[in-house]
């Protein structure tokens, strides 16, 4: 009956794969030691956790589990997605810091007292610091984890980044001497480092604990397939699953999306593999979204073309463009060389670029 068969009929319709698996999801595949490292950093007084990986590779899913662990350990948690901030807010440091404080206040079920602590004469950063230190943290008897997801959404606003990120570093460093700051643990989630001038002594991206999320191994891909109630009839089907794993280079979301369609009986694996890099394949929306971005930004398209068409399998491209493509998850960097992230992207974009 095809390549991958189900051990039993699916009792209920599977949820379509989305960004951020809930803590109760059976489709989350642990990638040790990332989980234990994250948990331990958020237990540490004044801890700072950094989760960096390309788009759709499990950063938010790991963060949700780290926050759940912190809650079980008795901490309060606040999760703020930077995508929720309006453009007008991101263009004004004062508005942004008040927006941040207001979000934290609401999630902790505290009374809003921003006007009591905000003083324009001492500046927005100092006002924000005093609000956290003397109002929020001073009255809490337990630690609080402040998790900022999609931090790289701020990178398009260099004036904000140059003020906000050094401020976070100062808060973290003051925990070494000021007890009240030890109650605050920070978690920053982002696709790539900020590409604006920041002194090493100001950046929060070279302190704390950095947790890297690797691609899924073949063994983890097999484990995820079993969670979708799929098993292998013989060695031919297992070899085809390896082809899928190789095609997307272990990309968690792309593997999960394929297994979803296989489990739902919409496709069989040979057909899925054949159509994957085309406009009719299951990845068409994912790939088209990237192409629309590239088609609007000619320098990015040219840079990606250089990487894909290079006889050496990679190319040295402009640093800013490289970071943008890495942030999108389209390339991986090895030293100064940029390489396409997986064969799916190489085949799809090569066809479009040649058209």
Q: Each residue of 87-97: pLDDT tens digit?
A: 999 999 999 99
* Residue 274 CB coordination number (10 Å): 11
Residue range 34-212, CATH number: 3.40.50
Out of 69-73, 269-273, 350-354, pick the least confident: 350-354
Out of 36-45, 160-169, 224-233, 305-314, pick the least confident: 224-233
- Give the global pTM: 0.88
Per-residue buried b or exposed e for 168-188, using 16+ beta carbons within 10 Å of the residue's own CB: bbebbbbbeeeeebbbbbbbb
Mean pLDDT for the chain overall? 91
Residue of 52, 168, 37 whose CA lies nearest to 100: 168
Task: Sketch the domain layout of the chain as residue ranges.
Answer: 34-212, 215-276, 285-354
Percentage of the chain surpassing pLDDT 70? 93
Q: How confident is the model at residue 2 (pLDDT cuts 50, 70, 90)?
A: very low
| CATH architecture of residue range(s) 285-354 | Orthogonal Bundle (1.10)
Helices (H), the chain: 34-43, 59-72, 87-90, 93-107, 114-117, 124-130, 158-174, 218-227, 235-247, 252-263, 269-275, 284-296, 298-309, 319-328, 343-354
Q: Give per-residue pLDDT as tens, 60-88.
A: 999 999 999 999 999 999 999 999 999 99
CA atoms within 13 A on the CB side of 253: 21
Q: How confident is the model at residue 353 (pLDDT cuts 50, 70, 90)?
A: confident
Q: What pLDDT does residue 202 have?
A: 86
Q: What pLDDT does residue 53 have?
A: 86
Q: How confident is the model at residue 266 (pLDDT cuts 50, 70, 90)?
A: confident
Q: What pLDDT does residue 140 have?
A: 96
């Amino acid at each position: 009956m095809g390549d991958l068969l189900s051990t039993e009929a699916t009792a209920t319709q599977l949820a379509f794969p989305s960004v951020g698996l809930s803590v109760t999801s059976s489709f989350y595949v642990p990638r040790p030691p990332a989980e234990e490292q994250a948990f331990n950093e958020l237990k540490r007084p004044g801890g700072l956790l950094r989760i960096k990986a390309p788009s759709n590779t499990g950063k938010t899913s790991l963060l949700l589990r780290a926050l759940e662990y912190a809650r079980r350990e008795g901490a309060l948690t606040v999760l703020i997605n930077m995508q929720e901030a309006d453009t007008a807010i991101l263009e004004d440091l004062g508005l942004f810091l008040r927006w941040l404080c207001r979000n934290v206040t609401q999630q902790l079920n505290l009374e809003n007292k921003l006007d009591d602590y905000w003083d324009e004469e001492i500046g927005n950063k100092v006002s924000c610091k005093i609000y956290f230190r003397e109002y929020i943290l001073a009255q809490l008897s337990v630690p609080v984890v402040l998790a900022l997801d999609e931090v790289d959404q701020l990178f398009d606003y260099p004036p904000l980044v140059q003020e906000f990120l050094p401020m976070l570093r100062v808060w973290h460093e003051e925990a070494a001497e000021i007890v009240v700051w030890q109650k605050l643990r920070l978690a920053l989630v982002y696709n790539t480092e900020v590409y604006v001038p920041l002194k090493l002594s100001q950046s929060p991206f070279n302190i704390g604990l950095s947790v890297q999320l690797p691609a899924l191994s073949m063994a983890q891909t097999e484990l995820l397939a079993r969670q979708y109630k799929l098993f292998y009839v013989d060695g031919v089907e297992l070899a085809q699953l390896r082809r899928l794993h190789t095609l997307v280079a272990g990309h968690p979301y792309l593997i999960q999306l394929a297994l979803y369609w296989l489990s739902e009986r919409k496709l069989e694996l040979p057909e899925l593999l054949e159509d994957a890099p085309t406009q009719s394949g299951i990845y068409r929306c994912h790939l088209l979204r990237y192409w629309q971005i590239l088609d609007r930004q000619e320098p990015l398209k040219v840079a990606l073309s250089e990487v894909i068409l290079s006889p050496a399998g990679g190319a040295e491209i402009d640093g800013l463009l490289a970071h943008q493509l890495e942030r999108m998850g389209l390339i991986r960097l090895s030293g100064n060389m940029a390489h396409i992230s997986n064969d799916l992207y190489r085949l799809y974009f090569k066809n479009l670029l040649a058209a």
